[in-house]
Structure 1
Amino acid sequence: MPKIKTNAERMKEKIEKENLKLMQEYSEELKSVTEYTFWGKTHYKYSIYAYYNSFTKKRVYLKKAKFKTSLEAAMHLRNELKKANKEKEKIEKSLLKKSGKYSYSYEFNRIFNEVIEEKKEKGLKISTIQKYKALVKNHLSDDFKNKYINLIEPSELDDILVSYEIHKNGIAKQLFSFLSETYKFAFRKGLIENNHLLNYRGPKRDQKRAPVILSDKELRAIETIINNHQDIFKKVYFNILLNTGMRKSEALALSRKSIDLDNKIIHITNSVTYDEETNKAILSSCKTKASERQIPISTTLTDLIREYIEELPAEQDMLFKNKNNELYRPTYVNGWFKTILKQANCQKATVHDIRHTFITRLHQSKQFDIKQIQRYVGHSNTAVTLNTYIHLNATSLVEVSDFMNELTA
């Protein structure tokens, strides 16, 4: 016969359940609560950054101690945060009114999120959106992001951009580009009276890193290392890059359906990008519409890919997956290539330099016109190719792959 609980036991059980429920409800606040000992007794306290006071130009922190329980501290903190948010809103509205600017506005962070949503609707690539998010997350302070956009002074924008112009020019250009987009959006929506970045010329562009063009000797050494590699995965992957000039993210996105072994053609329809939200590599659209293309491949490369596909598990559609059955991040292959270069005793280069080398070799052969090269490598227009590689003459598109195959033989 089950033991009958006393009233005290039932009451204790009820209190424990209620406490557990409250602990779950206040889980966020509890993260800011810490335990300490005072005169031999256990107490609880909290200390948290609440908001940036645009009037005093100082950060506001909430601190309080001597609570008997962590839950008591968490409940008190929630009430104080509500008061702090009301106080922040009051200060911001007062400053907006005093400055003669609009009586309504949004924090920079909120407008940033709206810009992102608009870009998603317009079909902007996930990789580009992730890049914008990373820029704001890593290179703009919380104080800046939480400020009403109307109250951000031109000098503050200038300080940020000049700082990155001096130290990290590449970051400065990207940050300036996205800040410009955000301010155009805010001006279009009537949230600011003046677009402070309209006449700002942006950071000066430093001279770009010159691409490394691998020599014939280096190409042969690299190919020797690759073809003697015990891992057929890397052998196939780098042979595809060497013989097609494909982007590394495009090669990682290849599937069984991408390869027409009978007609010796690769169909490029996707690329792989890193998704910051899921922390995984995912399939994405190609860099541009021109990047979606069909390229002929040599018999040697076709046979190598055929042999590789035959060894893949029947249920695996994608050509390149890791041991967790996930796609590789494009940055992952950089380490592989670095090791290959070291073994081949070659100069320092990036995976993308394989593509530069491929296109340069086509130019040097003087057998292909600019339109053929542009179509084969997936540039959006001939100007992109001409900006780096000059005049070329004519021959058929199929000869491009045969030429590269002979060059690296």
Structure 2
Amino acid sequence: MPKRDSHIKSYKLKSGDTRYMFHAYLGKDPISGKMVQITKRKFATYNDAKDAYDQLLAEGIKNYIKPKQKTVDDVYNIWFPAYKETVKESTANKTAINYKVHIKPWFEKDYIDEIDTAKFQAWVNELYKNLVKYKEVINRFGQIYDYASALGYCKKIYNPVHAVIIPRKTKKHRRDVKDNFYTFEQLQDFLTVAKKQNYRSYTYFLLLATTGLRKSEALALKWSDIDWSNKTVSVTKTLALGIDNQLIVQTPKSLTSDRPIPLTENMSNVLKKYRQKQKSLCPIIFHGISNNYVNLSKPDRWLQAIYNADKSLKKITIHGFRHTYATLNKDQQRTDVEAVMGHNSLEMTEHYTHATNDGMERIRDHMNSLNL
């Protein structure tokens, strides 16, 4: 008869029946560091107790100990500090806002290892009805879940993002932007009103329309960014909203956003006149009263003031001036225009050097010919 395992003990019930039990040491809890000892009772036979004991030892502590449960909010607060070090501050701020507005209200107190698939699908359905960039928010939730999985707070084989149906397109009505630009004549009318209304606004919008600058790139400019001899402006920074919506200066949107841009003869002269009118030694071109950068919403107020001054003007958005620049240069070589505008693509990267060296003068000559 084979020798019995000494860990398996027999004991008597009050009825006189025999039952079996064992006491097993599985090791240390990897989270708490405490020793884990398990006692199991009420096995009808020795063999039942022996099988259960052997299985426990074979599976080990990781399969026996359930990780301490974390809510979605708990995991986010662990994940976000690490995540924000891997992206631009403006991107981190956008992620924080998306979490606060779109994820936290639904899942804040839910344990991350108990996410209900039906609830997650309902959340996805609401997102795509009301948000254009809904997939961005869903993907962020997926990152949070994967991080929880890596920390042992939920099963690695299951991610709710992969378990639901994600619609291809948003149901939210997109703004119609196909007409969000000025023709040459419409731009002339706008600039005439702007010049009379406020010279700073006039300078700002003329700069956008004749250079293709993004709103935040123009607001970040300093006088030192202008090369008066070569009549160019260097785009090396952009304004953005950092953590807690604080205004910050950061690197441009992409690799090709850091670029020199040709100024027209008139644009150069307008900037010189504007500088004289400022009567300030502030290094920032479009500065506020306190000689700091103006808020990103300021140009919208400048634009509205111009439209209020003449109700007959066609209304476009701030970004529409960038579209206007592209339209004014629609007959120029595409790579030249993309280089000046700082578009980021494989083709743009391949042609960037050639376009900035040769195409910049072609663009300058064309824009000068418009006499804006």
Q: TM-score, normalised by structure 1?
A: 0.65
Matched, 1:112 2:76: yes
Residue 186 of structure 1 deviates from its aligned partner by 2.6
Residue correspondence of structure 1 range 6-405 to structure 2 within 5 A: 102-122=66-86, 124-142=87-105, 144-166=107-129, 168-193=130-155, 194-198=158-162, 200=164, 202-206=166-170, 208=174, 209-211=176-178, 212-229=180-197, 231-275=198-242, 277=244, 279-312=245-278, 315-341=281-307, 343=310, 345-363=312-330, 365=331, 367-368=332-333, 370-381=334-345, 396-405=359-368
Percent sequence identity is 22
Following superposition, the deviation at residue 148 of structure 1 comes to 2.3
Helix, strand or coil: the match of 1:397?
A: helix
Partner of 1:39: none
Partner SS for 2:249? strand
1:406 aligns with 2:372: no
TM-score, normalization by structure 2: 0.71
For residue 14 of structure 2, what is the aligned residue in structure 1?
A: none
For structure 1, list consecutive stretches of 5 or more residues without a partner in the other structure.
Answer: 1-99, 386-394
Other structure's SS at 1:266 match: strand
Q: Give the match for residue 45 of structure 2.
A: none
CA RMSD, 1 decimal: 2.9
Contact 1:236 1:304 in 2 (8 A): yes
Flag structure 2 segments of 5+ consecutive residues without an equivalent: 1-63, 350-357
The alpha carbon displacement at 1:331 in A equals: 2.5
Computing the radius of gyration from Cα coordinates, the structure with the larger value is 2
Q: Which runs of 4+ in 1 moved over 6 A?
A: none
Q: Take 2:347 and 2:148, find their aligned partners in 1: how far apart are those partners?
A: 33
Amino acid at match of 1:154: T
Distance 1:104 1:216, change over 3 A: same
Distance in 2 between residues matched to 1:313 and 1:172, nearest whole Å = 47
